[in-house]
């Protein structure tokens, strides 16, 4: 038990250090690498929500196949209420993804959660009408 607490504290410190480095990072490549490392650490400790946030940020930043696969793998680990919350967090990014990436995200959502995909598409349409 004591060793678990020490191990957890070390992981928490390392994650805090990575988060600070992400804030200070200059280039997209470095930021991508740090986000991937942070995402993996959060998955390892069981913080799926934090891992999802890192995956979405990485997807927004890089838009690569690898980042999309990480995003989809983490989303599949969510239960129904968490998927709904994750969909809401994606809606906030509606203006930041390009059309090709949104198409890919929507296809993924329609295959995983059709009703959430409809909610996501409707919300994105409303946002696009305002802009």
**What is the share, in percent, of the chain residues with pLDDT greater than 70?**
94
The DSSP call for residue 27 is S
131 pLDDT above the threshold of 80: no
Residue 54, Cβ neighbours under 10 Å: how many?
28
3-30 confidence digits (pLDDT tens) = 777 788 888 888 889 889 988 988 888 9
**C-alpha of 102 from chain center:** 14
Question: What is the rounded distance in angstroms from the CA atom of residue 82 to the CA atom of residue 110?
Answer: 17
pLDDT of residue 130: 64
Who's near 108: CB < 8 A, 6+ residues apart?
A: 68, 72, 75
pLDDT tens sequence across 88-102: 777 777 667 777 877
Which residues, in sequence order, are CB contacts of 30 under 8 Å at separation 6+?
none
The angle subtended at Cα 86 by Cα 111 and Cα 120, nearest 5°, is: 55
Mean pLDDT, residues 53-80: 83
């Amino acid at each position: 038990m004591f060793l678990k607490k020490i191990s957890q504290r070390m992981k928490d410190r390392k994650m805090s250090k990575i988060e600070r480095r992400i804030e200070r990072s200059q280039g997209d490549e470095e930021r991508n690498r740090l986000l991937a490392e942070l995402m993996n650490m959060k998955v390892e400790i069981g913080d799926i929500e934090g891992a999802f946030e890192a995956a979405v940020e990485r997807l927004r930043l890089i838009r690569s196949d690898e980042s999309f696969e990480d995003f989809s793998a983490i989303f599949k680990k969510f239960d129904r209420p968490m998927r709904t919350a994750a969909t809401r967090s994606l809606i906030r990014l509606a203006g930041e993804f390009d059309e090709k990436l949104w198409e890919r995200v929507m296809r993924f959502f329609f295959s995983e959660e059709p009703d959430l995909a409809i909610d996501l598409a409707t919300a994105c349409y409303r946002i696009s009408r305002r802009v």
